[in-house]
């Protein structure tokens, strides 16, 4: 997924603020699912969410306002009670690796209680993990 760094995402030093990366991971994850035929909107509409349980980011090089970046998302784990993704943020203009990250998610119901991932979602997610495109 491509994105252009917005001015609001930078700090006083002109560098992308560390907090700007997490929404990029979310967008990458949602797009990754969409591109493979799974709608996060439909998941939410059915009463299921994938709550973020953990985020780990390693910042490799700075990104700046107006940089064109690429967020590459990959499913790395899928179980009935946990799903995980890995991310690479790069700047194609110079080939720089900007950041790497992982997120772990727990399926929850509308009340925020942890639940098992229903087969309706688990089966296709496991198939995607097996092929890991």
Tens digit of each residue's pLDDT (9 = 90 or more) over 20-46: 999 999 999 999 999 999 999 999 999
Which tokens sit at 50? 């994938």
State the pTM of this model.
0.93
Strand, helix or coil for residue 20: helix
Note down the domain range covering 28. 2-125
133 in a domain, yes or no?
no
- Overall domain count for the chain: 1
60 falls within a domain: yes
**For residue 83, what is the domain's CATH number?**
3.10.129.10
Q: In whole numbers, what is the pLDDT of the chain averaged over residues?
A: 96
Give the CA-trace dihedral at 51, 56, 60, 61, to 10 degrees.
40
Over residues 115-122, mean pLDDT: 95
Q: Is 89 strand, coil or helix?
A: strand
Phi, psi for 132 (deg, rounded to 5): 40, 60
Residue whose C-alpha is closest to residue 1's, from 42, 43, 33, 38: 33
> Given this model, what pLDDT does residue 131 score?
87
The model's pLDDT over 42-87, given as tens digits with 9 standing for 90+, comes to 999 999 999 999 999 999 999 999 999 999 999 999 999 999 999 9
Flag whether 130 is in a domain.
no
> Is residue 131 a part of any domain in this protein?
no
């Amino acid at each position: 997924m491509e994105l252009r760094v917005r001015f609001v995402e930078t700090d006083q030093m002109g560098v992308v603020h560390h907090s700007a990366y997490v929404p990029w991971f979310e967008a990458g994850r949602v797009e990754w699912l969409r591109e493979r035929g799974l709608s996060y909107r439909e998941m939410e509409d059915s009463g299921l969410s994938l709550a973020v349980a953990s985020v780990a980011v390693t910042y490799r090089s700075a990104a700046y306002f107006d940089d064109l970046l690429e967020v590459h998302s990959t499913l790395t784990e899928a179980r009935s009670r946990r799903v995980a993704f890995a991310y690479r943020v790069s700047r194609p203009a110079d080939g720089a690796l900007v950041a790497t990250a992982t997120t772990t998610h727990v399926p929850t119901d509308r009340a925020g209680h942890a639940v098992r991932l229903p087969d309706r979602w688990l089966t296709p997610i496991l198939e995607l993990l097996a092929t890991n495109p």
